[in-house]
A and B are shown apart, each in its own frame.
Chain A
Amino acid sequence: MKAIFRLFLIALFVTGCAAAQQVQWPVKLDKLAAKASEVVDVQLDQHMLAMANRFMSDDKDDQEAKGLIKNLHGIYVKSFEFDKDNEYDPADVEEIRAQLRSPEWTRIVGVVSKKDNEKVEVYVRQLNNQISGMVVLAQEPRELTFVNLDGPISPDQLDKLGGNFGIPRVEMRDKAKPAPKAVPK
């Protein structure tokens, strides 16, 4: 797994607004598990995050993590690693991307590395001028990752969450540049 674009996908959702569109993990992508050399699936819903929050200590690191997750409704990560290149069809990922073209979603980061043949995108959902969810989609020839953070979170916080809760570390500040404009709605 490359250090630069270590992964993520976040799938996300709901946030108190029943009408808000949820990003669903396409069932057909589960078939990738049969081809993958490694599959990681992390699912922490609001109840589980609250449990984790409750047991954290008062030390500095735990307090920082507490602050990050206390408002989240869920952390969901799916990551597939393959032995060979191109085991998944990039078109499959379009089904996820299509869901992110709804009005409340905006792509804030889009990085394409031709050298490493990697692509990382970060989308945020805004409701009432507040970020209420974030999705990271990372594609490499041998790796595909979705991270879905449901709930209020900022890009800075995503940076801090990287490496925790199964979320890959993303060096957004150094490597990612904002996309020129949001994905067409």
Chain B
Amino acid sequence: MKRAAFALGLLLAVVVALPARAADKEFDSLVNTLRHHYSLPRPEYPLRGIFMGPMMALARHSGDARKTEVEVATFENIQPGRFEPVDFENTVNHSLPSNWRPFVRVFSRKDHEITFVYMDTASTSQRMRLFVVTAEDNELTLVRVRIPDDQTMAWVDNPTHMAKKQAK
């Protein structure tokens, strides 16, 4: 009985995780492009652990409009000054499918930070999808999020702040 329950649980995890992995291709593609272009160390995926991955996938399947679905990748210990603004912007732009269109660009020399926020303009889902890419002195963070409808304004108004909150 225990073995059957375990097998069933395993099957459920696989079934739930497979479509999630397909959806992650777009995210992974950008992560890999940036990693190779800038020769970055291996990224961390804070929300893709053994437990968090299936939980996120289940959240995705549940279709609960109140839940934020987030994908996060972080590169740390990067050599400062690694991201030249124009090259960085071009690299990110060319790595994302054309349905992702930038609507916020911030270049802050004083905070040593570059932020781009993209909106999925071809989304057919019930919720808005945003991609937030933030390069700091020695850290690069990528956040893709599917936003609950009651948080749309908060994200559109201040995507950088919201993304940082999610990445923590």
Residues of A within 8 A of B (CB): 33, 36-44, 47-48, 51-52, 54-57, 59, 61-62, 65, 81, 83, 163-166
What's the nearest-Cβ distance from chain B to residue A179, in Å? 30
**A62 touching B153, Cβ below 8 Å:** yes
B16 interface contact, C-beta 8 A: no
Kindly list chain B residues whose C-beta atoms are within 8 Å of the C-beta of A164: 153, 156-157
Chain B minimum-CB-distance residue to A59: B150
**A37 touching B109, Cβ below 8 Å:** yes
Interface of B is mostly: mixed
B87 interface contact, C-beta 8 A: no
Beyond the given pairs A39-B106, A48-B119, A55-B147, 8 more chain A to chain B contacts, judged by CB atoms under 8 angstroms and listed by A's residue number, are A38-B108, A38-B110, A39-B108, A41-B106, A47-B121, A54-B128, A83-B110, A164-B156
Kindly list chain A residues whose C-beta atoms are within 8 Å of the C-beta of B39: none
Cβ proximity bits B94-124 to A, threshold 8 Å, 1 near / 0 not? 0000000111111111110000000101010
B152 interface contact, C-beta 8 A: yes
**A38 touching B152, Cβ below 8 Å:** no
Number of interface residues of B (CB under 8 A): 24
Q: Pick from B107, B109, B110, B156: contact of A52, CB below 8 A.
A: B156
Kindly list chain A residues whose C-beta atoms are within 8 Å of the C-beta of B128: 51-52, 54-55
Kindly list chain A residues whose C-beta atoms are within 8 Å of the C-beta of B106: 38-41
The distance in angstroms between the C-alpha atoms of A163 and B103, with both chains bound, is 16
**A38 touching B109, Cβ below 8 Å:** yes
What's the nearest-Cβ distance from chain A to residue B55, in Å? 24
A-B contact pairs, 27 of them (CB 8 A): A36-B107, A36-B109, A37-B108, A37-B109, A37-B110, A38-B107, A40-B104, A40-B105, A42-B104, A42-B105, A48-B101, A48-B119, A51-B119, A51-B123, A52-B119, A52-B128, A52-B156, A55-B149, A55-B152, A57-B152, A59-B150, A62-B150, A62-B152, A65-B153, A165-B157, A166-B104, A166-B157
